[in-house]
Amino acid sequence: MALFDEAGLFSEDQAITVTARSTNIIDFGAPETPIGNVGPVVGDLGLSEIEILVQVTEAFVGLTSLAVAIQFDDDVAFGSPTTLITSQPVPVANLKVGYKFRVPAQIPEGALERYASLNYVVAGGPATAGKVFAGIVASRPGAV
């Protein structure tokens, strides 16, 4: 079982019918300039072992497959997102309640921009049913 914080949720039972961005965009904050530095320090969130989970909460119907892309951008409107990784397309026959996407267990290296979102890529749709839950795992009981 994983624990989540509302601020770290990308999607909470988000219905996916066509290719779409996650309902929520996560803001990791602007880079700051430490005292004595000339400019801001930019860190790679992919080196922070930030764990994510993307799971089906309602079975999908009416599409061929669904893939999930992890994206970052410095623009909250995601005008030119950087896609760090995209899962393999998952056939609709596998998109049942409880299915967990095989995106990396953690945000991959290269996450240098401020905002994060997921992009759900539908093939052969639109879907007539199907929902997902996705978020940053805040903690796992017993993992302390």
Tens-place pLDDT, residues 62-94: 999 999 999 999 999 999 999 998 999 999 999
48, 51, 19, 32: which is closest to 134 by C-alpha? 51
The two structure tokens encoding residue 66: 């669904």
Q: What does the block give as tokens for 76? A: 């909250």
pLDDT score, position 103: 80
| pLDDT tens sequence across 22-49 | 999 998 887 666 666 666 556 666 657 7
CA 42 to CA 16: how far, in whole Å?
33
Per-residue pLDDT tens over the stretch 101-134: 988 767 777 788 889 999 999 999 899 999 999 9
**Which fold does the domain 3-139 belong to in CATH?**
Jelly Rolls (2.60.120)
> What band does 15 get if pLDDT is binned at 50, 70 and 90?
very high
Domain boundaries defined on the chain = 3-139
Instruction: Give the pLDDT confidence score for residue 112 in this predicted structure.
Output: 80
pTM summary value: 0.85
Which two structure tokens, joined as six digits, stand for 133?
């839950």
